[in-house]
Amino acid sequence: MPEYMKLAKDVSAAIKSAVLENNRDLQEMGKKAFTGAYGATTSRMDSIAEEKALEIIASSDLKLNVLTEERGMMDNGASETIVLDPIDGTTNCISGIPFYSASIAFARGNRLSDVFFGYVENIPANEVYSASKGAGASIIVSGKSDPIVRKVFDPEKVTAIAYVGKHSKMPSGLGSARYFRCMGAASLEMCLVARGSADIYCHMSQPGQKLRIVDIAASVLITREAGCFVLDENFNDLEMNIDLQDRKNVIAVRDKKALEVLK
């Protein structure tokens, strides 16, 4: 799918450029620009990055509807939709913490399962995760692409990544994991499960703080194509609508044996 890879690369490059051009005054970039499509605060950094991304999408030969966290659904009468979070991990970005991404997915249909190409770039690390439906997942470092191969699960050395905050409701068993991390960018955290750096990713929140599809559309495909599993809070295969209203708690595991830690 070279045309989708090219557009994803171009969009991500525009986002990266916007971040680098505006990272000298992070306090200013963290200020509110406007209220997003469904009530979330949009920072100046988010706004600038999204504008640059939308310019690239508009200039593309691909006809696409566009869904973003900041502006919602832009229906262009197309059969395909690009699902975009220009900066996943905005708080990290505007705090100077080098762990945030551009998350870009393409879908034919209106469900998460209709996503056919996903692209997540760890902007500070210059690492890219990508996947085409049915064709596996890859990681690209310094221009070199390697397939992501599922690693052997060791139940004695479980590494868990989880959202921890005032809205969180962690499974009691999660504390039995040997190593525990909380990193603040759902798309990248899920990709760490895909590449074998972590065994579990868990986001369990109250209703208003559950994840939207713009956060994870690309990383769900990447994680599944890497041979891992992405579930909802009831341990069913995760499915979502391609809109901003649907929000879900999410669990990703390298091996279903890891679910014993959560139950």
* E strand intervals along the chain: 32-35, 41-43, 65-68, 72-74, 81-88, 101-107, 115-122, 127-132, 137-141, 144-147, 159-162, 179-181, 200-203, 211-212, 229-231, 247-248, 250-253
d(CA 217, CA 240): 9
Q: What is the pLDDT confidence band of residue 189, given thresholds at 50, 70 and 90?
A: very high
- 251 falls in which pLDDT band (50, 70, 90)? very high
Question: CA nearest 205: which of 222, 225, 224, 182?
Answer: 182
Portions of the chain given CATH number 3.30.540.10: 2-147
pLDDT at 175: 67
pLDDT tens-digit series, residues 105-150: 999 999 999 999 999 999 999 999 999 999 999 999 988 999 998 7
Residue 258 has pLDDT above 90, yes or no: no
What's the pLDDT at 244?
92
CATH 3.40.190.80 placement within the chain: 159-261
**Direct distance between the N- and C-terminal alpha carbons of the chain, in angstroms, rounded to an integer:** 39
pLDDT digits 0-9 by tens, 200-227: 999 988 888 899 999 999 999 999 999 9
Residues in the chain: 263
Q: What is the pLDDT of residue 39?
A: 65
Q: What number is the average pLDDT over the span 190-207?
A: 93
pLDDT at residue number 34 = 63
- 142-176 pLDDT per residue, tens: 889 999 987 788 888 888 898 876 777 777 667 66
Mean pLDDT of the chain: 90
Q: Which fold has domain 2-147?
A: Fructose-1,6-Bisphosphatase; Chain A, domain 1 (3.30.540)
Under a CB-based contact definition with an 8 Å cutoff, are residues 38 and 55 in contact? no
The CATH code for residues 159-261 is 3.40.190.80
The three-point CA angle 161-165-170 to 5° equals: 55
Alpha carbon distance 222, 190 (integer Å) = 9
